[in-house]
Structure formats: C-alpha cells, structure tokens
Amino acid sequence: MAAELRKDLVRDTWVVIATDRALKPNDFPINKGWEKAKVSGQQVCPFCEGNESYTTDEIAAFRAGNTLPDTPGWTVRTIPNKFSAFKLEGELELKRTGIFQSCNGLGQHEVVVETPQHGVEFSQLPVERIKQIYLMLQQRYRQLATDRRIKYIQIYKNRGLFAGASLEHSHSQILALPEVPSENQGLSRYYEQEGQCLLCKILEEEMQSRQRLIYESRHFLLVCPYASRFSYETWVIPRRHTEHFADINEEELDDLAAVMKTFMPVMLDCLGDPSYNMVINTAPVNQDIGGGYHWYMEIVPRLIVAAGVEFATGFYMNPVAPEIAAAMLREKLPR
C-alpha cells in the first residue's frame, strides 16, 4: 500500500493517507454490522499458531529453541503490519503542490501478536506471558531506535470494535515515525515553562491527595488523571523518572506485568467488558530532547464515542468525575 503524510494546515498536524486504493463502503468494519465486526470477516485468522504463512517475514519471536521462524512454536510474535502505510526506505522528503504539503510514509509499522491462541485476551494471560509481551515491546523499541531516521516510537493496543480493532486476535502495534507528533510534546513544553517534570509533580500530588489513586505497587502508581478525557481513563506511571519505555529494568518489568494482571481483569469486570485502548507515551528518539519526558501508559475504556463537539473543539466531555471513577476501581482491588 502506498501512502503519504499530508499536512493539515488548519490543525498543523499530519494525516496519513492511503493514496493508491480506497476502502469501499462495505469494507469498513462498522458497515459489516455489529456481530460480524466482532471478529474479522476472514475465515482464517492470520495471527493464530499454524497460520504463520498468512503473514510474512517474522521480525522477531519468542519461540521454542528448535523451531524455525514463520512456523508454530512461539509465544509472542512480531510481524510487519500488512496494511502498513509506512516503509523504512530512503530519506524523508517534503513535497509541495501549490499550498499543499506532503511527505513520504517513512517509518515502520509492526504488529506484536500477544498469544498463539485465538480468543485468549491480554488480561487472561498468565503474568509471565504478560512480561514476555513487554520484553518484546522493549526489544523492538530498542531495535527501531537504532535507525537514525526514526524520531518517535508509538506503542499502542486496540481491543474491540469501539477501540478501532479490526482483528479480534489479541495484539499490540508499534509505529515508528519520522516526526515527533505534537501531542507528545506536552511534557517537554511543561518542563520548559515550569522547570520541573510534570509527571513527577503529578505523582507527588496524587500520593498526597489520594482522591484519584487507584492502586500502588512498588514501582508504579495507577491514577485516574485530573483532566481525564475518557470516563474511567487510567494512567500507569512509573515512580522512577524514566524517559524511555525501554529503560525500564527487570524488577520494574516484573512489577508492571503483575500490576497489569491485577488491574485489567478488575477494570474489565467493573465496566462490563468494554473495548479499550492502551498507549505508551514515551520520549522521542534520535534527537536532542528537552527535559521533562517521563514515560507512562494510558488505559482508555471506550464507553463513549467521541462526537462532533470533541473533534471540532478538541474539548472532551467526560460524564464521570475521575475521583468517582478512581474510588470505584480502587474498592475492587487488593490493598
């Protein structure tokens, strides 16, 4: 698939456009109808063990010692995103046509298949398998960061139709970009203005007030953020000021896996098994960065569809106060 990044001159951001084909109206998951959209329309799930030939070029996998790439025997497997708009080829080139600006889709888009088994959710995996997923994400992060053309690495997970998932089999995605999205520059902007790390400051205030605290572990704090855009939105913040997700150490990794194994089933149970997204916000790579970056994870249950007012104004409307959301989740978790 050929693609380009086009500049949105009104909003001063980039849009990724597929230039050589168009999804027909009936190709959209939403138009396939609710029940059909819950699973992929495909007869064969390309992410299942045994179907490795439906994907190409295994990039990395944790697998039994005597098994070959692109064969069964793996627990976590990374492959290229088949519908990727990005290619890690050549250099970034800006093109102008009249007032319009575009650049080539330089980058890489990968899928991390989290389990060989269809129907097993991230939250149902044993804690050591959750740890393996984070190990894989770290390994890919480090590898992609060695390419100087990559400036930002976005890790995210879409689970369920209302979170934008197009395949049911549990997976995460890694998108390596040639530009730092402006959405990710808030922490460094705060540091420039205030001379301190916003996340460290938030940790301090949330520990003190305890109003929005959901759960504390040795290395992480879970809070519903003060200005939650989404109802029951949860941030997982490492206590140690760490810029990059890949800088997390072994002990922290064990703790993170345990925290997720504790929190996710409770959250899903409390909220009626909603669709959700998980995104990891981290520092840019291959450039001088200002201070104030502190990686953290956002877990966003998708209970509300963003409406006209949200994307017109950028003001999100949240009908659940984070203090109430945090109290509800906290109550169901072990102390």
Nearer to its own copies, 28 or 50 (CB): 28
Nearer to its own copies, 12 or 250 (CB): 12
Q: Give 135-172 as a DSSP string.
A: HHHHHHHHHHHTSTT--EEEEEEEESGGGT-S--S-EE
Q: Which two tokens stand for residue 82?
A: 């088949």
Q: Are 236 and 256 in contact (CB under 8 A)?
A: yes
Among 17, 64, 94, 207, binds its own copies (CB under 8 A): 17
Active site residues per annotation: 171
Nearer to its own copies, 49 or 103 (CB): 103
Asked if 279 is part of the footprint of its own copies (rule: CB under 8 A), the reply reads yes
Asked if 306 is part of the footprint of its own copies (rule: CB under 8 A), the reply reads yes
Tell me the C-alpha to C-alpha distance, in Å, between residue 292 and each of 155, 179, 181, 224, 282. 20, 19, 16, 21, 11
Among 20, 91, 93, 250, binds its own copies (CB under 8 A): 20
Asked if 67 is part of the footprint of its own copies (rule: CB under 8 A), the reply reads no
Nearer to its own copies, 183 or 250 (CB): 183
Q: What are phi and psi of 251, to 5 degrees?
A: -65, -40
Q: What are phi and psi of 300, to 5 degrees?
A: -125, 100
Among 150, 264, 281, 284, binds its own copies (CB under 8 A): 281
* Residues between 192 and 251 that touch its own copies (CB under 8 A): 198, 201-202, 205, 209, 226-229, 231
CA 212 to mean position of chain CA atoms = 23
Separation CA 110–CA 182 (nearest Å): 22
Asked if 42 is part of the footprint of its own copies (rule: CB under 8 A), the reply reads no
Asked if 108 is part of the footprint of its own copies (rule: CB under 8 A), the reply reads no
Nearer to its own copies, 74 or 187 (CB): 187
Among 64, 68, 207, 317, binds its own copies (CB under 8 A): 317
Give the dihedral of Cα atoms 227, 133, 221, 298; nearest 10 deg: 0
Read off the DSSP letter of residue 19: -
Nearer to its own copies, 74 or 199 (CB): 199
Separation CA 210–CA 323 (nearest Å): 9
Nearest distance from residue 175's CB to its own copies, in Å? 6
Site string for its own copies, 249-278 (x = CB under 8 A): ---------------------xxx-xx-xx
Asked if 171 is part of the footprint of its own copies (rule: CB under 8 A), the reply reads no
Relative to beta strand 100-104, strand 3-8 is antiparallel
Nearest distance from residue 168's CB to its own copies, in Å? 14
Among 91, 93, 183, 288, binds its own copies (CB under 8 A): 183
* Residues between 283 and 302 that touch its own copies (CB under 8 A): 298, 300, 302
Q: Which long-range contacts (CB under 8 A, 24 or more apart) does 117-121 make?
A: 117/48, 117/49, 118/45, 118/47, 118/48, 118/168, 118/169, 119/168, 119/169, 120/170, 121/159, 121/170
Q: Of 133, 144, 62, which Cα lies nearest the Cα of 109? A: 144
Nearest distance from residue 73's CB to its own copies, in Å? 29
Nearer to its own copies, 74 or 161 (CB): 161
Among 50, 119, 126, 164, binds its own copies (CB under 8 A): 164
Q: Which residues contact 313 (CB under 8 A, 6 or more apart)?
A: none
Nearest distance from residue 111's CB to its own copies, in Å? 12
* Residues between 110 and 149 that touch its own copies (CB under 8 A): none
Among 70, 328, 330, 333, binds its own copies (CB under 8 A): 328
